[in-house]
Structure 1
Amino acid sequence: MTVHEHQHWKSLTIRRPDDVPVATPLAWQIDKHTEHNDRLMNIALPADFKYEVERGDAGDALAVIALRESMRRDIEAGRGVRVREAIGLGATWNEVAAALDVSPDAARTLLREWADGQHNLYLRDVEHGQNRPLGLNPDQHAAMLALTELGDDEAARQ
């Protein structure tokens, strides 16, 4: 991301999760969230507080809600990628499941659903004539699904 993009981001008013541009780094979202949240926290300070502080308003509260939802969505969308990376780097399904605080079968389901979504993205791009389709081609999709067949304590061969 460029300095110009960051300056543009800083100037945006956020009131809905969709006000956050696609691919906005989480760190930028957290920074903006912190600014709004700090102003909201200042509301609790006494009126005669020793220092001059900026107090929050409804816009700050809405921005915090919208930014939290945007970040939640971004984090949720990244779960499948991170599971794929962990398994591909030698983690076992038991280890991934522990990291997610779910059962190994639930972790496998997460990867399977992510892989299916990525494969559907690829198929849509191909159908629309994209030269460089995004997502997983049939061979990559099959390789992802094969990972879900590993035993709970079996690591992928690297």
Structure 2
Amino acid sequence: MSTDAHKHWRDLRVSRPGDVPPATPLMWLAEKHQEHADRLTSSLLPHAAERATVADALAVLALREAVRREMEYGRGAHVRDALRFGATWNEVAAALDVTPGEARNVLRTWAEAQRHLYTASEERGEQPLGLSAEQYAAVLALTELADDAQPA
């Protein structure tokens, strides 16, 4: 992202998760969150240099929710990446602290959403985003691997 984009982000008021532009780097979210959280924390001190406002409290809530959503959304893509690089379902499940079946559901749910994104953008005449039919089939094939099998 450019320096102008970062300046725009720093100046942007966030009071809802939807105020966060798509593809905003997590580091930027964390930095903005920390600035607001620091004001909230320091306002507890008797001689705080800067007083927190309702905008700070709302920004902390909204930014935390935006980070949570981004982290949740990215789980499936990262499961796919782990498998693509040779992890087994047992290893993926351990990394997520879930069962292999639950890990497969994470990937399946993500793939379904990505396939829907692709078809919806295609129907609108836009450059398709998400998974094509072939990519979707390849991801679903990963869910059929045995728990201890490494992808080919």
TM-score normalised by length of structure 2: 0.94
Equivalent of 1:59 in 46, 55, 74: 55
- 2: distance between equivalents of 1:127 and 1:39? 46
- 2: distance between equivalents of 1:83 and 1:39? 36
Partner of 2:114: 118
Equivalent of 1:96 in 92, 107, 111: 92
Q: What is the CA-CA distance between 1:103 and the residue it aligns to?
A: 0.6
- Show the 5 A alignment for 1:118-157: 118-130=114-126, 132-157=127-152
- Tell me the secondary structure at the aligned position of residue 121 of structure 2: helix
- 2: distance between equivalents of 1:59 and 1:128? 37
Residue ranges of structure 2 left out of the alignment (5+ in a row): none
Q: What is the CA-CA distance between 1:44 and the residue it aligns to?
A: 2.1
Q: What is the CA-CA distance between 1:59 and the residue it aligns to?
A: 1.3
Q: What is the CA-CA distance between 1:31 and the residue it aligns to?
A: 0.4
CA RMSD in angstroms comes to 1.3
| Structure label with greater radius of gyration | 1
- 2: distance between equivalents of 1:34 and 1:110? 30
Residue ranges of structure 1 left out of the alignment (5+ in a row): none
Report percent identity of matched pairs: 55
- 2: distance between equivalents of 1:95 and 1:23? 28
Higher mean C-alpha displacement, 69-78 vs 132-141: 132-141
Q: What is the CA-CA distance between 1:127 and the residue it aligns to?
A: 2.5
Q: What is the CA-CA distance between 1:100 and the residue it aligns to?
A: 0.8
Q: Which runs of 4+ in 1 moved over 3 A?
A: none
